Amino acid sequence: MERLEAHIRNIPDFPEPGIQFKDITPLVKDPAMLKLAVHQLIHPFLGKDITAVAGMEARGFIFGSLAAWELGIGFIPLRKPGKLPYDVESMSYDLEYGSASLEVHIDALEKGDKVLLVDDLLATGGTAAASCELVEKLGAEVVACAFVVELDFLKGRDKLAKYNIHSLIHY
Ligand code: AMP
């Protein structure tokens, strides 16, 4: 994990003063680190009969689609409002900086689906909690949430108390 952590760049005061932004671009640029991160993300869930990976726009798409590929299953994009062309379910939430909402196509998942949710980073947990609710609105089950980075001091894990949380790097 130290090798992965060495490829996370800290950008102070981005996108606004007081935020320590954890930049994952050095990690995804490095093929060995990208492979290591994706393998570590999915490792606990091998053999758990996961049927889909859902990932949040935009950095969740990078790790989520690679996780889905490695697991041999499909990827469900949870998108920013107005991007999906078909009928959607949506969910609003608060961010560490600002507020937002996410949407999913109503036929993206169904009852019986067992979903692994993937994003780059868990901060306050608002994004992940809304994402879990979206998945559940479609009748699917959230088996676990997996993150490359978790900011422990923001206690996002508390907001996701009823879910299994797997994070690779903690700050
Ligand atoms: P939250 O809803 O507070 O858990 O925020 C998580 C989402 O916001 C993730 O999709 C992250 O990509 C992004 N995010 C929040 N805080 C940071 C941070 N300090 N560095 C990088 N990304 C962040």
- φ, ψ at 129 (rounded to 5°): -65, -45
pLDDT tens digits for range 8-62: 999 999 998 999 999 999 999 999 999 999 999 999 999 999 999 999 999 999 9
According to DSSP H, which parts of the chain are helical? Answer: 2-5, 25-29, 31-42, 59-71, 126-137, 156-159
- φ, ψ at 128 (rounded to 5°): -70, -40
Catalytic residue among 5, 57, 96, 133: 96
Domains and CATH numbers, the chain: 48-170 (3.40.50.2020)
Is a pLDDT exceeding 90 seen at residue 92? yes
Where are the strands (E) in the chain, listed by range?
Answer: 9-12, 20-23, 52-56, 74-78, 88-94, 99-105, 114-122, 141-150, 165-170
Residue with CA closest to ligand 1 atom 5 = 123
Q: Among candidates 86, 127, 92, which has minimal Cα distance to 105?
A: 86
> Is there an atom of ligand 1 within 6 Å of 77 CB?
no
Residue 119 near residue 60, CB atoms below 8 Å: yes
> Is there an atom of ligand 1 within 6 Å of 150 CB?
no
**10-14, 89-93, 98-102: the lowest-pLDDT one:** 98-102
Is 70 catalytic? The answer is no
Q: How far is the CA of 28 from the centre of ligand 1 (A)?
A: 17
